[in-house]
Structure 1
Amino acid sequence: MTGSPTALVIGSGFGGLAAALRLKTKGYEVTIVERQPDLGGRARVFRRNGFVYDAGPTVVTAPFLLDELFKLFNRNPEDYLKIVPVEPWYRFRFNDGETFDYGGTVEGTLDEIERLSPEDRDGYLNLVQESRRIFEKGFSELAHIPFHRWGTMLRQVPALLKLRSYRSVYQMVSAHLKDERLRQAFSIQPLLVGGNPFTTTSIYSLIHYLERKWGVHFAMGGTGAIVAGLEKLLREEGVQIKTNATVTKIVTQQRRVTGVELGNSGEVLPADLVVCNADPPFVYEHLLDFPQRKRWSNWRLRQLRYSMGLFVLYFGTTRQYPGVAHHTITMGPRYKELLSDIFHKKHLAEDMSLYLHRPTATDPTMAPAGCDTFYVLSPVPNNLSGINWEEVGPRYRDAVVRELERTLLPGLSECITEDFFVTPNYFEQELLTRHGTGFSIQPLFTQSANFRFHNKSEEVDGLYFVGAGTHPGAGMPGVLSSAKVLDQLIPSVSNNTTPHRALKKTSSSRTKSETQTHAAVLAYHGKSFHWAGRLLPQSQFNDASLLYAFCRHVDDLADEASDPREAKIRLDQLRQDLWSEKPKQPLNQAFRQLMADQQLEQCWVEDLIEGVLSDLGEVCLQTQEELICYAYRVAGTVGLMMAQVLGCRDTHALAFATDLGIAMQLTNIARDVHEDAQRGRLYIPQQWLGENPVSAVQLVEGNQEARQVAETAVERLLDLAELYYRSGYQGMRYLPMRVRLGILTARALYRAIGDEIYPEPRIIWERRARVSMSRKCRLTITSLFKFLFDTQTWPVGKPQQHEPQLHQHLNCVRVS
C-alpha cells in the first residue's frame, strides 16, 4: 500500500475510463467498479458466432481527446488502437428516394448540395462559419470548464446572446438553408446527443463544425477496440478493476463521501472521493443514503425533461451489401411531427427514421467472410410512454426489418442472421438510466451548462460526475470532456494528503481571537474596506483583514515613532523578524503563513516597506512620476497582494490590481492634504503648483494663494485617480465571481470620496471627506447591478489589454 488517497469510479463508460486515467495521473489509487462482466457501459461489445456488434457509440469525432489519455502516460496511442477516417461521414436517404453524401472536403459537400439545391450553396458556407463561431465558444472554450458556480454561467451570457443561443438548432439551420431535405440533414446532430432539433439550443450546432474540423473516424475492431485499448492502459498503470459489482449505496458521513457499498456482497469500499459515470438522476434518487437533498430532490428530478429512448436491432447478414455506406441515415415521411411523437406525445409511430451502422464497410473482420455486420437504431419514446416492450418489441423489430428491406437492404428477410434487439427496458434495467433514456436528460438550454447536473455534486463533498448527464453533455467528445473537467475540480495529491485537505488553501492556523483582532483593525481604520469586505466569503474576508492589519502595522511603526531614526529602527526590526526562519511576533507569523498560502511575493512586501520609509521626515514630491511611484509602493503593492489573497491567479490581472491600489492612494492623498501638511508631508507634485514653490507650512498656516493652487491640483489629482480607477474596473473580469461584488463595492466607496471633494475642493481644509451610510447603501446596490449586468466585468472575449502609459514611470513595479 502506498498510502495515497483513494478514488472510486462507478461505471466504465468512456467518461469513467477517462476519469480513472486522469485521477491516476494525479496520484490517486483508483478502482473502477462496473456492474457488467465487461467494461464499456454503453460502449460494450456483443459477440455472436463471429459477428461483432458495437453496442452503443459508433461515431468517433475529436480523436485527439483519446490521444490525450495515452499521452498523459507518455504512451503512443497507435500502440493501443488504430483509428481511421471514414468517408462519406454519413449518407442520407430521403423519403423521396434521393440520397446525399455528407463529409470529406467542403468542396465535395458543396458539389452534393449543388446537385440537390444549387441555391443553398452559399447558405451552407454561411452555416459552416456560424457553426465555427459557436464551436469556438461552446467547445474550445467551455467544454472542459466546470459550471458548478453561477458566476461561470453569468460570464457566458453576453457571448451566448451574441450567438443567439436561444434559437433551436433547426431554426439556426433554416436561417441558412432553404431545401427541407438539407435542413433535415444539417439539423439532425442533436439526436446524436439525445436532443430534439426543434427544441435543442443552437449551441449544439457546434457538432457540425466539430465534424468538419476533425472528420468522422472509426476504430478498427469497432468501438470496443477503444475500450480494450483503454483497459490495457489502465491495467498497465495499476488501476484496479472490479466487474460484476453493482454499487447500491454511496456511503456518506456528514455530507462527505466515505465510500460505496456493493449490493451483491455487502462489501463496503472506502474512498476519499467517488466519480460517478452513472446516470445522475438514478444516482441521486437511489444511491445517496439520505433523502434531504438541497438541489436534486425527487420532485426536481421529476421536473426534468428526459431524452428519447432507443430501439436497437443488432443483426448479421449471410451476404454483403457493398453499396451501403458505413453510416447511413434514412429519413421517413415526417420529420418534425415524428420528433414530436417521440419527445412530447410519447407515442410510438408507425413511420420511422433510422440510423444504420455497417462497420464491415471499413473493417470486414467484424463479420465472418462473405457476411456483413449491422446495427440499426430507431429513436423511440422513453419509458415514460408506458409502452410494454415485451409485447411491442418483436413487432417493432419486424417493422424495422421491413423498412430496411424497402429502402436499403433488399432481400434482408432472407439473409438476416444472429439478430437480437434492445429497447428502453435495457437502458433502464441494465444501464440504470432513469426512464430508460438513451442519453440521460435532453440538451435544452435550460438543461445545459450550469443548469445541467454539475460535475461536482452540490449534495455531498467528494462526489463528482462524468458522462452523458453532466456537463458538457452526451456523445463521445462530450463524455471525454466531462472527465477533462475534473482536472480543474480535483487537485493532484501527494502521499498521505486527502483531497479534501488539498482543496483548501487557507491560513487555518490563526486563532479565532487573532482573526477577530485583524477584523477589528479593519473596522476601525478602514471603514469603507470593512463595509465592502462583508460582501466577501468569510475565508477571504479573514485573509483580507490580516493583510490590512499587517499593512496598517507597518504604517503605524513609522507614524507613531518619535523621530525618523526611531521609525527606521522599528521597520528594520520588523524586516528582521518577518524574514527570519521563525518569526517571533504573532502578526508576522500569521502574515508569513498568509504569504506562503496565497503566493505573495517578498518583493511586494519590500516595496511596501520602502514606500513607508520614504514617508519618514518631511516629504515634498516634485513630479507626477514620483507621485505615481510612491502610490505604487504604499498601495499598488497592496492591490497586488489583495488580488492573490482573493484567489486571482491570472497574471494579466496584476497590472489592473496595481492600478486600483494606486487610484485609492491618490484619493487618500486628495482627502488628506491638510492632515499630511500638518506632518510636514506634501504629496501633490510641485510641478502642478505653478512657478512659485508651495510648502506644507503655507497650507497649514492658511495661505490663501497656496491653498487655491493646491485645490486646483487636487482636482487634477482626482482626474488622474479616475484613469487608474477605470483601469482597475477593467480588471474586475479576472477576479473570482465570489469576491467580485466586494471589490466592486470597495472601488465605488473609495471613488465616492473623490466625488465628495471634486465639486468643492475647499472642504479638505475643513473636514475629512466621508461617504454617508445612505450613500454606501446606494453604492452597494449600484455595484450589485454592475456585477450582474455590466459585461465589462465579465471575462468574455479576449483578455483585457492594460494601458501601458499608466506604468510608464514605474521601473519599480514587479508584477510577474
Structure 2
Amino acid sequence: MPKKINIIGSGFSSLAASCYLAQAGYEVNVFEKNTSVGGRARQFKKDGFTFDIGPTWYWMPDVFEKFFADFNRKTSDYYQLEKLDPAYQVYFDENDSILIPGSLNEIYQSFENEEAGSSQKLEKFITKARDNYDIAIKDLVYRPGISPMELITPETATRMGRFFTNISSEVRKEFTNKKLRKILEFPVLFLGAKPSDTPAFYSFMNYADFGLGTWHPKGGMYKVIEGMKDLAESLGVIFHLNASVDRIITEKGKAKGLVVNGKDHFADIVLSGADYHHSEQLLPEKLRQYSENYWKKKTFAPSSLLFYVGFDRKLKNVSHHTLFFDSDFEEHAKDIYDDPKWPDNPLFYASFPSITDETCAPEGKEAGIFLIPLAPDLKDDEATREHYFNIILDRFEKITGQNIKNNIIFKESFCVNDFKEAYNSYKGNAYGMANTLLQTAFLRPKLRSKKVEHLYFTGQLTVPGPGVPPSLISGKLAAGLIEKNEIK
C-alpha cells in the first residue's frame, strides 16, 4: 500500500508538492478550508467581471515551464500566455509617467531618454543581475535550507559581497535620476522588504523584470491554479473543499493525520502549505518549533488593502499594470516597517487586466484592481477602507486626467481582517516573511519539523521565500525532503 499524505491548504506551494508527491507514488489528499482551490490566488467573479484576488504579476516564466516540464507537460497545455508590451507604466506625477517596454533594448532606450548615459549603466547593472539570476534561480533556490553550506558554491564564493550590500546602495551609486532609482528598486518589493534591507544579490529580480519580461495568462493568474489542479488530479490527487483543519493529530511525537471539520483523517505524513505560524497552532504547544516571541521578532512582508472595481467604460492613460509613485516612497516604507501605521500618503498599484484580456470584463467595460501596501496587523474597518479608496481615486483621477467615480458599477475590498479570516495569515500579512539577509535560506523556518516526525511545511514563510515562483519551488523542495526521508 502506498503511504498516505495529507496536505493542508491548496495554494501554489501545496499544489506543486501534491503533484510531485503523487508522481512519486504517494496517496495524496489536499484539504482546503475555502470553497475553491488556490489559497491566496483565488478568483472573484461578479456581473461578468473576473478578478484575481491575489497575485496579478506573472514573472519568471522559466520557473513555471520547469515545473510543468517535470511532468512532461508545458504551460501551453493548460493556459495561454501573452507577453505584455508595455510591461507596465509608472506614474510620478500628473502627466509624468514612464512606460517600461516589453524588450530589453527598448528599456535601455527609455532609460537613456530619461537620463543621458544611463543606458550603459543599466546594461552593466542588468548583466550583474542576470549573473545573480543564473546562480539563484537555477541553483540556490532549489536547495532546502538545511545548512548554511548550501550557500557556499564556487559561484557564490566570489560574490559573497553581494549578500552584505543592499539593493538601494547598488542602485544609488550608479543612478542619480530619482525616477530611474524608483523603477529599479521596485522589483524587490515582491520580496517583502525595503530595498535598503534587501541584499544586492536579489537584483536578480531586476533581470526577472527587464530581461524575462511581464506576462499575462489569458483568463488571469487563476488559470495557472486551474492548470496545476488539473495536473494534480490527473496524477491521482484528491481535493477536499470547505475542509477546515482543526488539529494535527500526533502520537508519541509523530504526525498521524488531521482533524478536519471534527472528523479524523489519518495519514502517514502531514504537509502544511497553510500559514506556518497557524500550522504550528494546530499542534500542542510543546511540539511547536517556534515561540510567539520568535514570530514577533521577524520582519514580515506587508499586508494590503485591495479593491476590486467594475467600471462601466474603458479607462484612459493607464496600462495593464500601472504603478503610482507620486508620493514619497521612503515615508510610506517607514509607515510599513519602522513605525507601523496607516500611511498618510500611500503609493499604490493598479491593474486593469481587461486592457489585455477581453475575458476579464464585459465588452466596453473595465476591471480594475487597486492595491495599497500596508503594515500587517493594523486596525481594519470599513470606514478606513472607504477613506483610503477616496484618497487613491482622487489621485488617480488627477494624475491620469479623467473622472471615473461616476463610472463605478461596484467595488469590493479585501484587507487585513480578510487575510486573517480567509487564510489564517499571521497578523494579516499578504506575502509571508520578508527576504532580508537574516531571513534568507537556512535562516528561514524549516521545511521539516524538528519536533514532530513525519510533519513538513511549505510555502512563503519557509524556503525559498515570498512570491509565486518561489512557492512553486517550495512545493518541490518539501516533496523532495519527504521522498528522501520517508519510505513510500
| TM category, shorter | over 0.9
User: Which structure is larger by alpha-carbon Rg, 1 or 2?
Assistant: 1
The answer on 1:316 being equivalent to 2:310 is yes
Question: Is 1:321–1:409's contact at 8 Å kept on the other side of the alignment?
Answer: no
The answer on 1:301 being equivalent to 2:295 is yes
How far is the alpha carbon of 1:487 from its aligned partner? 4.8
List per-residue Cα deviations over 1:558-614 (Å, max 9, x = no partner): xxxxxxxxxxxxxxxxxxxxxxxxxxxxxxxxxxxxxxxxxxxxxxxxxxxxxxxxx
CA distance in 2, matches of 1:6, 1:32: 11
The answer on 1:12 being equivalent to 2:4 is no
Match of 1:144 in 2: 142
Match of 1:371 in 2: 365
Amino acid at match of 2:434: Q
**TM-aligned CA distance change 1:176 to 1:457, over 3 Å:** farther
Question: Is 1:120–1:178's contact at 8 Å kept on the other side of the alignment?
Answer: no
Query: Hey, which of these two has a bigger chunk of helix by percent?
Result: 1
**TM-aligned CA distance change 1:322 to 1:95, over 3 Å:** closer
Match of 1:404 in 2: 396
Match of 1:275 in 2: 271
Match of 1:500 in 2: 486
2:354 aligned residue (352, 360, 368):
360
Query: Whose RCO is larger (CA < 8 A, sep 6+)?
Result: 2
How far is the alpha carbon of 1:322 from its aligned partner? 5.1
CA distance in 2, matches of 1:480, 1:103: 27
Deviates more, 1:242-251 or 1:149-158: 149-158
**TM-aligned CA distance change 1:103 to 1:254, over 3 Å:** farther
**TM-aligned CA distance change 1:259 to 1:449, over 3 Å:** same
Give the secondary-structure state (helix, strand or coil) at the position aligned to 1:376. Answer: strand
Match of 1:288 in 2: 283
List per-residue Cα deviations over 1:182-216 (Å, max 9, x = no partner): 11111111222322222122232211112344321
CA distance in 2, matches of 1:139, 1:457: 25
**TM-aligned CA distance change 1:488 to 1:365, over 3 Å:** closer
Question: Is 1:113–1:120's contact at 8 Å kept on the other side of the alignment?
Answer: yes
Match of 1:447 in 2: 439
CA distance in 2, matches of 1:172, 1:276: 37
Give the secondary-structure state (helix, strand or coil) at the position aligned to 1:198. Answer: helix
Question: Is 1:364–1:372's contact at 8 Å kept on the other side of the alignment?
Answer: no
Match of 2:451 in 1: 459
**TM-aligned CA distance change 1:472 to 1:296, over 3 Å:** same
2:461 aligned residue (444, 457, 469):
469
Match of 1:416 in 2: 408
How far is the alpha carbon of 1:86 from its aligned partner? 1.1
Question: Is 1:189–1:197's contact at 8 Å kept on the other side of the alignment?
Answer: no
Match of 1:431 in 2: 423
Deviates more, 1:63-72 or 1:300-309: 63-72
Give the secondary-structure state (helix, strand or coil) at the position aligned to 1:164. Answer: helix
CA distance in 1, matches of 2:248, 2:401: 48
How far is the alpha carbon of 1:159 from its aligned partner? 3.0
Structural mapping, 1:571-590, within 5 Å: none
Deviates more, 1:72-81 or 1:428-437: 72-81
Question: Is 2:132–2:204's contact at 8 Å kept on the other side of the alignment?
Answer: yes
CA distance in 2, matches of 1:103, 1:202: 24
**TM-aligned CA distance change 1:62 to 1:154, over 3 Å:** closer
Query: Under a length normalisation based on structure 1, what TM-score does the superposition of the two structures give?
Result: 0.58
**TM-aligned CA distance change 1:150 to 1:128, over 3 Å:** closer
CA distance in 2, matches of 1:260, 1:160: 46
Match of 1:807 in 2: none
**TM-aligned CA distance change 1:231 to 1:488, over 3 Å:** closer
How far is the alpha carbon of 1:241 from its aligned partner? 0.3
CA distance in 1, matches of 2:478, 2:102: 34
Question: Is 1:320–1:370's contact at 8 Å kept on the other side of the alignment?
Answer: yes
List per-residue Cα deviations over 1:153-206 (Å, max 9, x = no partner): 566996386342122221121122111111111111122232222212223221
How far is the alpha carbon of 1:71 from its aligned partner? 3.5
Question: Is 2:219–2:357's contact at 8 Å kept on the other side of the alignment?
Answer: yes
Structural mapping, 1:193-342, within 5 Å: 193-262=191-260, 264=261, 266-284=262-280, 286-293=281-288, 295-321=289-315, 323-342=317-336
Give the secondary-structure state (helix, strand or coil) at the position aligned to 1:490. Answer: helix
Give the secondary-structure state (helix, strand or coil) at the position aligned to 1:252. Answer: strand
How far is the alpha carbon of 1:149 from its aligned partner? 2.6
Question: Is 2:93–2:399's contact at 8 Å kept on the other side of the alignment?
Answer: no
CA distance in 1, matches of 2:486, 2:139: 28
How far is the alpha carbon of 1:292 from its aligned partner? 4.9
Match of 1:627 in 2: none
Give the secondary-structure state (helix, strand or coil) at the position aligned to 2:323. Answer: strand
CA distance in 1, matches of 2:478, 2:376: 30
List per-residue Cα deviations over 1:709-744 (Å, max 9, x = no partner): xxxxxxxxxxxxxxxxxxxxxxxxxxxxxxxxxxxx
How far is the alpha carbon of 1:390 from its aligned partner? 3.7
List per-residue Cα deviations over 1:359-378 (Å, max 9, x = no partner): 11111121011101110111
Structural mapping, 1:120-199, within 5 Å: 120-153=118-151, 159=157, 162-199=160-197
CA distance in 2, matches of 1:179, 1:55: 34
Question: Is 1:251–1:289's contact at 8 Å kept on the other side of the alignment?
Answer: no
The answer on 1:108 being equivalent to 2:106 is yes
**TM-aligned CA distance change 1:238 to 1:90, over 3 Å:** same
Amino acid at match of 2:89: R
Question: Is 2:444–2:462's contact at 8 Å kept on the other side of the alignment?
Answer: yes
CA distance in 2, matches of 1:167, 1:175: 12
Amino acid at match of 1:335: F
Deviates more, 1:70-79 or 1:320-329: 70-79
CA distance in 2, matches of 1:233, 1:437: 29
How far is the alpha carbon of 1:124 from its aligned partner? 0.8
Query: Hey, which of these two has a bigger chunk of strand by percent?
Result: 2
RMSD: 2.0
Match of 1:683 in 2: none
Show structure 1 runs of 4+ deviating over 4 A. 153-158
Amino acid at match of 1:500: E
Give the secondary-structure state (helix, strand or coil) at the position aligned to 2:362. Answer: coil
How far is the alpha carbon of 1:29 from its aligned partner? 0.7
Give the secondary-structure state (helix, strand or coil) at the position aligned to 1:291. Answer: helix
How far is the alpha carbon of 1:11 from its aligned partner? 0.9
CA distance in 1, matches of 2:325, 2:366: 23
List per-residue Cα deviations over 1:627-664 (Å, max 9, x = no partner): xxxxxxxxxxxxxxxxxxxxxxxxxxxxxxxxxxxxxx
The answer on 1:478 being equivalent to 2:470 is yes
Give the secondary-structure state (helix, strand or coil) at the position aligned to 1:112. Answer: helix
Amino acid at match of 2:473: S
Match of 1:740 in 2: none
Question: Is 1:168–1:199's contact at 8 Å kept on the other side of the alignment?
Answer: yes
Percent of residue pairs bearing the same amino acid type: 25
**TM-aligned CA distance change 1:276 to 1:160, over 3 Å:** farther
1:346 aligned residue (340, 343, 350):
340
CA distance in 2, matches of 1:270, 1:399: 51
Question: Is 1:10–1:34's contact at 8 Å kept on the other side of the alignment?
Answer: yes
Amino acid at match of 1:19: A
CA distance in 2, matches of 1:480, 1:209: 19
Match of 1:576 in 2: none
Pairs aligned (count): 488
List per-residue Cα deviations over 1:662-717 (Å, max 9, x = no partner): xxxxxxxxxxxxxxxxxxxxxxxxxxxxxxxxxxxxxxxxxxxxxxxxxxxxxxxx
2:61 aligned residue (60, 63, 70):
63
